Copies of this chain bind each other. A is one copy, B any other.
Amino acid sequence: MTPEELAKAYTVNGEQPFTDAVQRKYKKNSNLCSIGEVEHNVYFVVSGIVEAGMIANKEDKIIEFVFPNEFTSSFSSLLSQQPSDVYLTCLTDCEIQIITFSKLREDSKTSLAASQFYIQSIEKAYLQRAKREKDFLTLSAEERYLKLVETRPEVIQQIPVFRIAKYLGIHPDSLSRIRKTKFTNG
């Protein structure tokens, strides 16, 4: 998606709520947001993969992988302006569009276009999170893995197996067993 297409995506009823998104390149392992930092931005992934996670009992728990054409942020920190519980790390080299949230939030108080754009964004973020929670509550690790393969076949190639296992909350050996069972005759 080019910056022009992106600008178009931001348009609501022909009006552009904000135009100050900046595109930056990040090296693999760069942090977009660190734990303890207050989040100020929304990130739109142009290329690469971002990993979102948190630390529990000194271990990192992977919450999600974010792919091109998807938005991400440490939304709870962004909305509450409290230190982030979540880290956002570039799993690969990435190109990211950075949107300053405070401007959008301010604009939404005086512009219906901005408020509609903001409402759409937060609705999307909410639905994404609800879907993730539903999968977590209702699917087995194997089912979550198959869903990931189906919706995001590129994950398999670009994300180290031990990080996928961590995302699924299982041991890498269990993931190997699932992969072997499902794909050797496939």
Contact = CB atoms under 8 A, between A and B. Distances in A.
Interface of A: 54, 56-57, 61, 63, 75-76, 79-80, 85, 108-110, 112, 115-116, 118-119, 122-123, 125-127, 129-134, 136-139
Given A109-B112, A112-B115, A54 B137 contact: yes
Contact of A119 (B63, B108, B132, B136): B108
Contacts of A76: 126-127, 130-131, 134
Main secondary structure of the interface of A (DSSP, over half): helix
29 contacts: A56-B137, A56-B138, A57-B138, A61-B138, A63-B133, A75-B126, A75-B130, A76-B126, A76-B130, A79-B123, A80-B127, A108-B115, A108-B116, A109-B112, A109-B116, A110-B112, A112-B112, A115-B115, A115-B116, A115-B119, A118-B119, A119-B122, A122-B123, A122-B126, A126-B126, A129-B133, A133-B133, A133-B136, A136-B136
